[in-house]
Amino acid sequence: MADAPRSLDAERLKEYAKHVFGMMSGATVAALIHLGDRLGLFRALAEQGPATSGELAERTGLHERWLREWLCGLGASGVLEYPGAGRFGLSPEGRAVLADENHPAFGGGMFAQLPHSMALLERLPESFRTGLGLPYDALGPEGAHGLERGFAPWYRSLLIPYALPRLEGVVTKLERGAKVADVGCGAGVALLLMAQRFPKSEFHGFEVSRFALERAEANRREAGVANARFHARGGEALPGDASFDLVTTFDCLHDMTRPDRVMRAIRAALRPDGTWLIAEIKARESYEENVAKNPMAAMMYGFSVLTCLSSALSEPGGLGLGTLGLPPGVARRMCEEAGFTRFARADIEHPINAFYEVRP
């Protein structure tokens, strides 16, 4: 028997309305962060130090009145510091997260795709009706560039000196000459960094996004890398000849329509002594655990509806894992079903991702 409905409580109504409209505050602050990133305002504040709107206008050539409102909004939200006298500035932590693209904590790039993600709201009602989502290319070329900027700082800072040495025997193989595939390589930042560091090895990037591949080819030409190639194919198209020493998948399995098929293709592509490095969003085994242990759970589910789940359902028959859909238990089970016998958490710390070392 269903519980009797609770009568409306005036105080609870007040608190609930405050909570709901507080979510709108986060959306508007995110929009201001996007504008600051796009206009170079965080870099200007990092270089100039605390400034008034007039001083920032003089430095940037932008309109003082618009800058004043932008500063007040981010000051009120706590994104900017306010030491007083009309001046706003970035803390050292703010400089790392919003101004320094070489710092592994930099996150400004994630806000670059905000307008394109929100624009998909016009199309998502149809997805709710049909079940069919939208691929990442629905975000356009700017979306691919935003993803590149979002992930690149960690790759540049920590992939080569920190992450790869924690995989048993991998660096030695790469130095001697190995064959590597990065599945879902995006703009190719990770692949090209490895190719530059290990010139005796050959590197292959597999990607289905044409906008990401355009960025990858441009990055390859700019870097002058000769030992890397990009393929306009998904991971299912990996050659099944057991010739790869290392396969990487960075933050992409949960976005794929059929990650199970990709996993089987990776198993067939790896040498018997090969290694597969998985980076995936830290997810728990249940909704209750995600909410209890992940303070960003609501944001993650929101991202999933806007992009990750949408991509994972962008073809008929997609598994639809979504952003938090690949916790360790699911990842282990799917790897075992694909034919892998060794699955272990890699000793790589990251605030958002979990890393797994998988072997045949």
Residues 133 and 60 in one domain: no
**pLDDT, tens digit, 9 for 90 and up, residues 181-196:** 999 999 999 999 999 9
Residues 63 and 159 in one domain: no
**Residue 86 maps to which CATH number?**
1.10.10.10
- Report the number of distinct structural domains present in the chain: 2
Residues 127 and 170 in one domain: yes
**pLDDT, tens digit, 9 for 90 and up, residues 109-138:** 889 888 999 999 999 999 999 999 999 999
Residues 151 and 94 in one domain: no
Residues 22 and 88 in one domain: yes
- Position 1 pLDDT exceeds 60: no
**pLDDT band (50, 70, 90) for residue 55:** very high
Contact between residue 245 and residue 180 where contact means Cβ atoms under 8 Å apart: yes
Going by DSSP bridges, is the β-strand pair 244-250/228-231 parallel, antiparallel, or unpaired?
A: unpaired
Angle at 225 between CA 220 and CA 227, to 5 degrees: 115
Residues 215 and 337 in one domain: yes
Residues 235 and 158 in one domain: yes
Q: For residue 4, give the DSSP letter.
A: P
Determine the residue type at 355: F
Residues 125 and 231 in one domain: yes
Range of the domain at 127: 121-359
Q: Where are the alpha helices (DSSP H) in 102-188?
A: 114-119, 124-130, 140-154, 170-176
pTM for this entry = 0.92
Structure tokens belonging to residue 62? 């932008």
Q: What is the distance between the alpha carbons of residues 38 and 98, in angstroms, rounded to a whole number? A: 11
Residue 352's contacts (CB-CB under 8 Å, 6 or more residues apart) are: 281, 282
Which of 67-71, 102-106, 175-179, 213-217 shows the lowest per-residue confidence on average (mean pLDDT)?
102-106
Read out DSSP for 23-78?
A: HHHHHHHHHHHHHHHHHTHHHHHHHH-SB-HHHHHHHH---HHHHHHHHHHHHHHT
Model pLDDT, residue 240: 96
- Position 5 pLDDT exceeds 90: no
Rounded CA Rg of the chain: 22
Determine the residue type at 345: R
Q: What is the distance between the alpha carbons of residues 306 and 328, in angstroms, rounded to a whole number? A: 24
